[in-house]
Amino acid sequence: MHPVTIDVGAATGRYAVLIGDGLASRLGRILEEHNIGGHRFIVSNPVVWRFHGELLARALPDATLVQVPDGERHKHLATVARIYEALVRGEADRDATVVAAGGGVIGDMAGFAAATYLRGVRLVHLPTTLLAQVDASIGGKVGVNLAAGKNLVGAFYPPRLVVTDPGLLRTLPRREFRAGLYEVIKYGVACDAALFSQLQRELAAVTDQRADALVAVIAQCCRIKAAIVSSDEREAGPRRVLNFGHTAGHALETLTGYRRFRHGEAVGWGMLVASELAASRGMFSAQDRDAVRSLIMQLGPLPQVADVPVSQMIQVMRRDKKVAGGRLHFVLPSGIGSASVVGDVTSRELRGALERVGFRAG
């Protein structure tokens, strides 16, 4: 199967997303073909390296490995400082290349380090989770969390290249793979009714990682995001719809210390909240709301939220970076395949939607 190539526009120039089985083993040659040289630093974590380290060491034999802890709770400035220190020890200069080999957390931290070290060195993404392959590796968002909330410190810093190898997903725990599928559902609900229908028909083939079905879904998500990012790199307009499910999802992650939920699982709950809000406003039919819920629930049980207080969810959402002028901007679906940003969601509406979805009253 020939690799799929998708171009993404950015203020600093266009970059390519390459999608194909086996690309990771050819990473060194691919970087040379794209004139991405210099001293290479692979930023990864012990979990990813245990599964893919031998392959990546063969592909990039002269690279310096920088390992940081695994997990969203480590996505903070102190961990990025460890990356800086490794770059200094490795005598990284402006021609250096940071290769982010991991999921969205690694991509965010390695990308933020690349964006800020020496005011910017080259960045390449090698996403190893489904969530990172369909979403986090594209678009140039990089950053870290603060105690007050998720991704409150960050930058827009496009990579030079994204190399997506679906074969790397075969080592993922089933729960981690499912977590990425919630982001795929996000694209279907917010942007592409045909993708949503495809998931309804072919969910078993995708979850079983049948190559043709999986590559098709990954490529379509990347095309959607590439088109949106190319027209709105800095999230001033259309790109904001890609935050569907993320407002409540980020609050849920923050409240539970990034320990109970995978990011995609939190987004799954966030999509349920947003769909309920939209249905209560009459902008999303009950039939569509139920179709979204059904598809989400077919992936398997989500970690429960019955002990998460509604009042705390609302408080954290009010600190979200999507608050502007004191108003919380919420992405709500207006039909399968379309969504819009509204800025007049009240606390009373939020409370009702959260309680109906299953959060604890109070």
Model confidence over 215-264: pLDDT tens digits?
999 999 999 999 999 999 998 889 999 999 999 999 999 999 999 999 99
pLDDT of residue 125: 98
Quick check: helix, strand or coil at residue 260? coil
Which long-range contacts (C-beta less than 8 Å, at least 24 apart) are formed by 88-92? 90/39, 90/41, 90/64, 91/39, 92/39, 92/41, 92/117, 92/118, 92/121
Tally the C-alpha atoms within 13 A of residue 191's C-alpha that lie toward its C-beta: 22
Q: What does the angle CA 244 – CA 134 – CA 154 come to, to the nearest 5 degrees? A: 65
119 is known as an active-site residue: yes
pLDDT of residue 300: 86
User: Per the residue annotation, which of 178, 246, 262, 329 is the catalytic one?
Assistant: 246
Query: Which residues on adjacent β-strands are paired with residue 162?
Result: 17, 125
Burial label for 131, CB within 10 Å (0-12, 13-18, 19+), is buried
Query: Closest by alpha carbon to 119, among 96, 150, 140?
Result: 96
Domains along the chain?
A: 4-171 (3.40.50.1970), 178-202+233-357 (1.20.1090.10)
The amino acid occupying position 358 is G
pLDDT of residue 323: 65
User: Per the residue annotation, which of 45, 145, 151, 243 is the catalytic one?
Assistant: 243
User: Per the residue annotation, which of 235, 260, 319, 351 is the catalytic one?
Assistant: 235
322 is known as an active-site residue: no
pLDDT of residue 324: 63
Length of the chain: 362
Query: What's the alpha-carbon Rg for the chain, to the nearest Å?
Result: 20
Gap between the Cα atoms of 65 and 86, Å rounded? 9
276 is known as an active-site residue: no
- Map tokens 């030079």 to a residue: 160
Do 277 and 349 meet the contact criterion of CB atoms below 8 Å apart?
Answer: yes
pLDDT of residue 353: 97
250 is known as an active-site residue: yes
User: Per the residue annotation, which of 75, 122, 263, 329 is the catalytic one?
Assistant: 263
pLDDT of residue 1: 62
User: Per the residue annotation, which of 239, 289, 322, 329 is the catalytic one?
Assistant: 239
Angle at which helix 174-191 crosses helix 286-298, to 10 degrees, equals: 160
User: Per the residue annotation, which of 225, 262, 322, 329 is the catalytic one?
Assistant: 225
150 is known as an active-site residue: no
pLDDT of residue 148: 87
User: Per the residue annotation, which of 40, 141, 262, 329 is the catalytic one?
Assistant: 141
Name residues of the chain where pLDDT drops below 50. Answer: none
Rounded to 5 degrees, φ, ψ at 179 are: -60, -35
Torsion of CA 22, 24, 26, 27, to 10 degrees: 160
263 is known as an active-site residue: yes
Do 78 and 111 meet the contact criterion of CB atoms below 8 Å apart?
Answer: no
List the structure tokens of 258. 């990034």
Sign of CA dihedral 309, 310, 312, 313: positive
72 is known as an active-site residue: no
| Residues 6+ away with beta carbon under 8 Å from 65 | 41, 42, 44, 49, 53, 57
How far is CA 251 from its chain centroid? 16
Query: Which residues on adjacent β-strands are paired with residue 146?
Result: 149
Torsion of CA 44, 46, 48, 54, to 10 degrees: 90
pLDDT of residue 321: 60
pLDDT of residue 12: 85
User: Per the residue annotation, which of 45, 125, 151, 183 is the catalytic one?
Assistant: 183
User: Per the residue annotation, which of 2, 35, 91, 119 is the catalytic one?
Assistant: 119
Gap between the Cα atoms of 315 and 104, Å rounded? 26
201 is known as an active-site residue: no
User: Per the residue annotation, which of 122, 150, 160, 250 is the catalytic one?
Assistant: 250
Gap between the Cα atoms of 336 and 331, Å rounded? 13
Do 256 and 170 meet the contact criterion of CB atoms below 8 Å apart?
Answer: no
